[in-house]
Each structure stands twice: as structure tokens, then as C-alpha cells.
Amino acid sequence: MNTFVWVLVGLFIYWVALIGLRDRGLLPSYIGTQGPVLTLHTQKGKELIERLARPKRFWRAWGNFGLGIALVVMVGTFLLLVVQAIIVVQNPPEPTAVTQPRNVLVIPGVNQFLPLSVAPEILLGLLIGLVVHEGGHGIFCRVEDIEIRSMGLALLAFLPVGAFVEPDEESRRDADRGSQSRMFAAGVTNNFAITVIAFLLLFGPVMGAISVASGAAVGGVFPGSAADNANLQRGDRIVAVEGANVTSNGDLHDKLASIQGRSVDVTVNRDGKEHQTTIQRSLLITGVAQDSPFASGVEKGESISKANGTSVYTEKALDRELGGKKVTTMTVNGSKVSGPIGGLSTLQDGPLSSQTNLNVGDSVVITAIDGERITNSTDLSSTLDGYDVGQTATVEAYVNDSGRYTQHTYDVTLKDNGDGKAIVGILVSPGVSGISTSSFGTQLYPAGVFHDLMGGQFISMFGGGSGGPVTTFLFGIVGTLLLPFASLSMPVGYNFAGFVGWNSNFYAVQGPLSSFGGGVFLLANVLFWTGWINLNLGFFNCIPAFPLDGGHILRMGAEAIVSRLPTDQGRQVTTMITTTVGLVMLVSLVLMVFGPRLLS
């Protein structure tokens, strides 16, 4: 059984044991149960909260500010969830890893986006979030003269899943609506404040002390590839090729392209030590598009040894041999396969489908444009980039007709895609006729991209410009929030959960903090997850549905509005409003999480 199943079995056994202890009266009075959740109640800490609540004027000002923030976030969250749910219903997206049952659980090691290697930092961030959230409720209870019945921690087995401050209900009902609303908003306000502090420290001094180490970062190797055969591993850093220093991932690509021979001597840094190895390059097939004309004859993991009878072992040599003939023969694992060579494309709604007899969804292999030979997707994209809106191009292509590719020529007038860029209306598949290859065999890790995003540079990398310090900071937070799901939300191929051991070889500590060594990576992880978790806690608790803080604030607001209406059924109207909004939120959340799998 996998880890997810073991966790479910363990939770079930724990729940059964908990019920047995409760039914036999063996649980102490300070321990309560809510389903599988165990709650620990205590009276300790009231004195500290009383002292912290003494500057009441300050806290009320902070509470009014926080209530305004919470109301804005509540409205925004409501609209966002409803709009997303409508989009899912109207146009169900393809299911992704995010919606898998195991990834709904926020448990490191079970959730694939929360690696076990940073579980201590994640749990510390969660603990900080719970303490400041419930501490805010506790302080405002005393600021607004609401008695505290008890405080405590909620546990799922041994994992802290929540904390609570339990106000005395009679005392709470005696407080006015403004006092209660400030009390309920205090938790999310504190979470947002911790988020700002954590990311200011992360984007500033901490990431300022971390730089990207020189070299090409190896995030993985393809099984059976040249790099795999040479025993290159995830976490290695290639620092030299044929005696020439390698400074970055791009630099490695350029240097390999300039080397004609099959054998390549490389210097690898592994765990801080350098060693030499030799790579014997060979063309490994790393991907085959479903509509490729070679799909029935080649498979991922096989190797291309010849093109038109000539031995090839690099992408450059393959392109050179394939450039002469539009229909060619390749030798793959000893067998010969033939087909058209060019840029494999799927037609979309655009000029090529509307101005010809082709249909949206048809597959074509474009072999030339205005006589210029196209051998792969890179050639196709770069050639089309040179055209302007309104220009007419002669497109030579092989069209898939029930599995057979036949040659055709079309004159197509390029149209505007909406931002002034000329398009022909195609979705291009990577590689040569949909076949992706790797002669070296490494999957490079985007260490520089992740470094810049952790440093708050999202707007300059993906936003198309720069803004003021506040805008840059806010967009930096957005970019950082996406890092654990980067492979799904960004074109990088990897997720980033922090400096998790193997990827720390791609970074170096510099400046005044260099004396702390790897401790700087640990601090960066703590700040990253503390900010990430607190922001998500704040947004989640602002959802206007019970028993969340947003639901309580919604009730206070609904009561205030309904009390001004000419009706003697104010309580029923208030209940109707809060119940309706809560159900809408529940349905929206279910559709967002499970809709892609249920409706696709």
C-alpha cells in the first residue's frame, strides 16, 4: 500500500481507539473530541492575554483596520470562488495532480507538493499561524470585555490542525456587533500581518544573502540516457565541459552545441566535491506526440542511431541530416521508420483552418514556409515570428488523413491574435515531427528562476514590466505562493518547496550571513512556509461560511442590515442569508476541487 492508504488506515484505527476511550470515560476532562479531532482545553495563558490586551485604544484601531481588510477579502473570495465554479461547470478543465485526493490533505509526505524533507518548517509555520490567529481572538475578547471560557489546540492524531479560543457565549452575545466583528476579524488580520513580515524578511536580507551557484543544475536524468550511463545524478552541478567553465544552464546548452565529437569530458560538482567523467552522447527519444507520423513506429526511451543511413548522436547532427528531404527514414533501435519531417502542429481556430479545407483539430506537419525549410518546432516558431499581420505565406505541409500524411500547399493570410502579433492558427508540438530527443540526457533545474521568485521578482519575470515597491512586493507574494505548484502553473517543469537538501548544491550563501552557512537555507524555508501558510490561513478563514471567521462576520453584517429593514422576522432572514451564502461557498469549493474529475 502507498503512503496515502497507510495514513488513512492509521487515522481510522486512531479514531476507533479515541471513541473507545471516550465511551469508557477514560479521557481526562480537559480533552474533548469532535469526530477524529481531539481538542485540548486549558485555562493557562489567560493572564498573559489580559496583559497583552491592556492598550485597548491601539487594539481597537488595529481591529477596525483588520475588519476592513477582512471584509474586502471576504467579498473578493466569494466572487472568486463563484466565478471559478461557474468556469469549471461551463468548461471543465483537465484533472491535475492538485485535485487528487491525497493532495487535498495538507500533510507533508502524503501531499506530493509538500515534501517530507521540509515537514519541520511547514509544521512550524502552521504552529505560528495558529498561535497568532487564536491569540488575536483571545486578545480582542478581553479588549471588548468578552470573557474567555477556555483555550486550546486541535489535533488530528499528533498533527496540529487548529487552535481555538472559546469565548463565553453569554458574554459574547452581550457585546455589540462591532465588538464581535473585530474579535472575529482579529485572527485573519494577524495572519496577514505575519505574512507581510515573513515575506519582507525573505525578499530582503535572507534571499539577498543567497546566490545561484555557477554551473548547470541537474534536476534529473532520463533513464537509459548518456547522462544516466555516466552516473550523473539529481543534485549534481556541471561546472565545466572540455575544460571550459560552465556558468549556467544556457551556457551548457551553447557549449554542447559547439562540440562536434560524440565524447564529452565534463566536470561535476557533487556534495561540494568535483570529479571528472566522460559522456558518450546518443539520441534518446524523450517524448512522442500522439499525432506524430512516427507514433506507431517509435516509443519513448528508444534511441535514434541513423537518419537517412548516416549515424547521428546529437540534435544538431539529426537536424542537418533531416534538412535535405521532407520525407526521411530514421533507424530507431535497429528498425527503420519513415515519415514527413517538420513542425508537428494541431490546427486551432485561425487562418489555416478558416482559409483552407482543413478543420480545427486536424494534425499537420509543416515542412516549409515560403520555401524556407522547417525541420522542427523551433524552426517553425522562429520563422512565424518574422511575419507581420496581413502578410500572406505559402505553407507546405503534410496533412494527417486517417493515419496517412499527404502533401499539400496553402496560401494563408496571417491574422492578428489580439495583441498585434501575427498568427497562422496552430498549436505546435515540441521536437522533430512531434519527437523530442536528448543527446546529453540531463533535465536541468531552473535554479535561477526559483531564486528570483523567492526574492520577490515575479513581476519582472512574468509581469512584463516593473511597478512600484508595493506592487512589486504584492506580485512577489503571488509568485512565491505558486512555487510549490510551479510545474503546473509555470513553464519550469519542477515544483519548489524550498531548499530541500539535494537542490541546495545549486545555491551559495554570500555576504554578512555567510558565516551561518546552511542555516540561511533553513531560515529561508521557515520564512517561506510561515508566509505561505499564514496567507492561506487568512484567506481560508475569510470564506463567508460557518464555522469560519468569515461566516461569523457575515452574520454580524447581515444582522446589522436586516435590523434596519421593516420586518419582524429578522432572525429568519439573517439565517436565510448566511445559510444561502454558506451553501454557495460549499458547492463552489467542491466544484473547484473535485469538479475537474467529476465533470471531465
pLDDT of residue 599: 72
pLDDT of residue 402: 77
Q: Please state the domain count of the chain.
A: 2
Single-letter amino acid code for the residue at 519: G
Question: What is the length of the chain?
Answer: 600
Single-letter amino acid code for the residue at 126: L
Cell of 486: 510551479
- Asked, for residue 237, whether it belongs to a domain, the answer is no
Q: Which of 107-111, 315-319, 422-426, 461-465 is the least confident region? A: 461-465
- Asked, for residue 132, whether it belongs to a domain, the answer is yes
Provide the CATH number for the domain around residue 401: 2.30.42.10
Q: Does one domain contain both 178 and 45?
A: yes
Listed residue (47, 45, 38, 44) closest to 19, CA to CA: 38
Is the pLDDT confidence value at 316 over 80? yes
From 388, 408, 438, the end of a domain falls on 438
Residue numbers of the domain that contains 78: 41-149+156-204+526-599
Confidence class for position 430, pLDDT limits 50, 70, 90: very high
Confidence class for position 151, pLDDT limits 50, 70, 90: confident
Single-letter amino acid code for the residue at 14: Y
Q: Does one domain contain both 48 and 191?
A: yes
Confidence class for position 333, pLDDT limits 50, 70, 90: very high
Q: Does one domain contain both 199 and 308?
A: no
- Asked, for residue 433, whether it belongs to a domain, the answer is yes
Q: Report, as an integer, the average pLDDT of 176-192.
A: 92
Q: Which of 140-149, 369-378, 414-423 is the least confident region? A: 414-423
Single-letter amino acid code for the residue at 323: G
Q: Does one domain contain both 196 and 295?
A: no
266-287: pLDDT as tens digits: 999 998 899 999 999 999 999 9
Task: Give percent of the chain above pLDDT 70.
Answer: 95
- Asked, for residue 68, whether it belongs to a domain, the answer is yes
Residue 200: what are its φ and ψ, rounded to 5°?
Answer: -60, -45
The three-class DSSP label of residue 443 is strand
Is the pLDDT confidence value at 68 over 60? yes
Cell of 583: 451553501
Is the pLDDT confidence value at 46 over 90? no
Max mean pLDDT range (4-13, 336-345, 463-472): 336-345
Strands 343-347 and 372-373 turn out to be unpaired
Q: Does one domain contain both 52 and 192?
A: yes
Which secondary structure element, helix H or strand E, spans residue 237, and what is its range? Answer: strand 237-241
- Asked, for residue 89, whether it belongs to a domain, the answer is yes
Q: Does one domain contain both 298 and 425?
A: yes
219-238: pLDDT as tens digits: 999 999 999 999 999 999 99
Q: Does one domain contain both 193 and 304?
A: no
- Asked, for residue 445, whether it belongs to a domain, the answer is no
Cell of 403: 493515419
Confidence class for position 34, pLDDT limits 50, 70, 90: low
The CA distance from 200 to 469, in Å, is: 11
Sign of CA pseudo-dihedral 259, 260, 264, 270: positive
From 438, 469, 495, the end of a domain falls on 438
From 406, 438, 470, the end of a domain falls on 438
Q: Cβ(163)–Cβ(150) under 8 Å?
A: no
Q: Does one domain contain both 425 and 573?
A: no
- Asked, for residue 477, whether it belongs to a domain, the answer is no
The CA distance from 507 to 450, in Å, is: 11
- Asked, for residue 405, whether it belongs to a domain, the answer is yes
Query: Residues 6 or more apart from 254 whose CB is under 8 A from it?
Result: none
